[in-house]
Amino acid sequence: MDNQTAKILVVGAGICGIRAALDLADMGYNVCLIEKSPVIGGILSQLYHQFPNNHCGM
């Protein structure tokens, strides 16, 4: 199958899903990225709850 016509579905828009979708798109694949949550980023998108001021206290 030709890279230009291949369609790939990436399920999950966490950091790994986003990276995979970007890499596949750079390789010429037609990529669809889906996420069940209203925001992308997975756990990483909630990091501000743990470190709201960018200080980890170490």
**Structural domain boundaries of the chain?**
7-50
* pTM for this prediction: 0.71
Contacts for 15 with CB less than 8 Å, ≥ 6 apart = 41, 42, 44
Report H helices in 1-58: 15-26, 47-50
| Contact (Cβ atoms closer than 8 angstroms) between residue 15 and residue 41 | yes
What pLDDT is attached to residue 2? 56
pLDDT tens-place string over residues 12-57? 999 999 999 999 999 999 999 999 999 888 877 777 666 667 666 6
What pLDDT is attached to residue 4? 53
Strand partners, 36: none
Three-class SS state of 50: helix
What pLDDT is attached to residue 33? 97
What sign does the CA torsion over 38, 39, 41, 47 have?
negative
What pLDDT is attached to residue 39? 85
What pLDDT is attached to residue 1? 54
